[in-house]
């Protein structure tokens, strides 16, 4: 079984530490988890991050992480989902997990009349050459952490202070500029698609998502 936890708005550093602890202490038999949340404004720098891609931080904190990729921005109104899963259990590797996440986002966007696509050499999801979702993952001992960030209804101006994901002049967009969808609806739809991609049936997913209302359970 898998647990889905919805945490609301949670500081990045606190969440990062919790992911590391969970991954370090878990075993093959541990229940997998998916965390769904938002972060207060923060820039996060991946392992491959280069200083020149941070143009101007201003009052926004910059946190070095151990995920893959370059620099990105998180803020309220952006849906962040962290799949903390045992890849072996789902017959996945890093590449197929990235594909599963990208295709799940694309399916949700398509269902809301937004045509989106992947790029072979630039992980994430794009709409009309603008990036709408970013990915950054880490695998340790066969367990994944970190995950995806989907722009729903947020202040996009901090993206102008960086080269998002190391892409110079990369345009950024969000769902609210393209379709009239609520944050909650997109969250539910994307969690459902991710669980379907992991092999869970709809009737089981309904139970999992209902149980996620207990956001502070272990």
Does any domain span residue 217? Answer: no
Does any domain span residue 218? Answer: no
Does any domain span residue 46? Answer: yes
pLDDT, tens digit, for every residue of 8-19?
Answer: 999 999 999 999
By residue range, what is the domain housing residue 29? 2-211
CATH of the domain at 147: 3.30.930.10
Q: What is the mean pLDDT of residues 50-68?
A: 93
Does any domain span residue 216? Answer: no
Res. 212 pLDDT band, cuts 50 70 90: low
Task: Single out the catalytic residue among 31, 120, 165, 181.
Answer: 165
**pLDDT for 183:** 97
Does any domain span residue 53? Answer: yes
**pLDDT for 211:** 72
- C-beta neighbour count of 200 within 10 angstroms: 17
What are the Cα distances from residue 96, in Å, to 18, 41, 88, 105, 173?
Answer: 25, 30, 12, 14, 25
165 is catalytic: yes
How far is CA 33 from its chain centroid?
Answer: 14
Q: What is the mean pLDDT of residues 25-36?
A: 95
- Strand ranges of the sheet holding 125-127, from the earlier edge strand across to the other edge: 2-9, 32-38, 78-84, 143-151, 130-140, 125-127
Domain count, the chain: 1
pLDDT, tens digit, for every residue of 136-172?
Answer: 999 999 999 999 999 999 999 999 999 888 878 899 9
Q: Which residues contact 217 (CB under 8 A, 6 or more apart)?
A: 3, 5
Does any domain span residue 163? Answer: yes
pLDDT, tens digit, for every residue of 72-130?
Answer: 999 999 999 999 999 999 999 999 999 999 999 999 999 999 999 999 888 899 999 99
Q: 65 and 118 in contact (C-beta within 8 Å)?
A: no
**pLDDT for 23:** 97
- Say how far apart CA 120 and CA 56 lie, in whole Å: 29
Q: 116 and 128 in contact (C-beta within 8 Å)?
A: no
Does any domain span residue 93? Answer: yes
Res. 216 pLDDT band, cuts 50 70 90: very low
**pLDDT for 164:** 87
């Amino acid at each position: 079984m898998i647990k889905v936890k919805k945490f609301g708005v949670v500081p990045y550093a606190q969440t990062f530490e919790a992911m590391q602890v969970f991954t370090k202490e878990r075993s093959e038999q541990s229940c997998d988890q998916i965390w769904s949340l938002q972060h207060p404004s923060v820039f996060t720098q991946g392992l491959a991050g280069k200083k020149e891609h941070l143009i101007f931080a201003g009052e926004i904190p910059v946190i070095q992480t151990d995920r893959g990729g370059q620099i990105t921005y998180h803020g309220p109104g952006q849906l962040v989902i962290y799949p903390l899963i045992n890849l072996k259990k789902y017959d996945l590797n890093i590449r197929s997990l990235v594909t599963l996440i990208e295709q799940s986002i694309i399916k949700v966007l398509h269902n809301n009349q937004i045509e989106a696509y992947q790029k072979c050499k630039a992980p994430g999801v794009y709409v009309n050459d603008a990036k709408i979702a970013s990915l950054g993952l880490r695998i340790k001992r066969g367990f994944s952490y970190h995950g995806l960030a989907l722009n729903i209804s947020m202040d996009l101006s901090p993206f102008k202070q960086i080269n998002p994901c190391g892409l110079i002049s990369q345009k950024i967009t969000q769902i609210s500029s393209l379709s009239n969808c609520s944050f909650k609806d997109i969250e539910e739809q994307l969690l459902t698609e991710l669980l379907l991609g992991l092999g869970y049936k709809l009737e089981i997913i309904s139970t999992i998502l209902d149980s996620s209302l207990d956001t502070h359970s272990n």
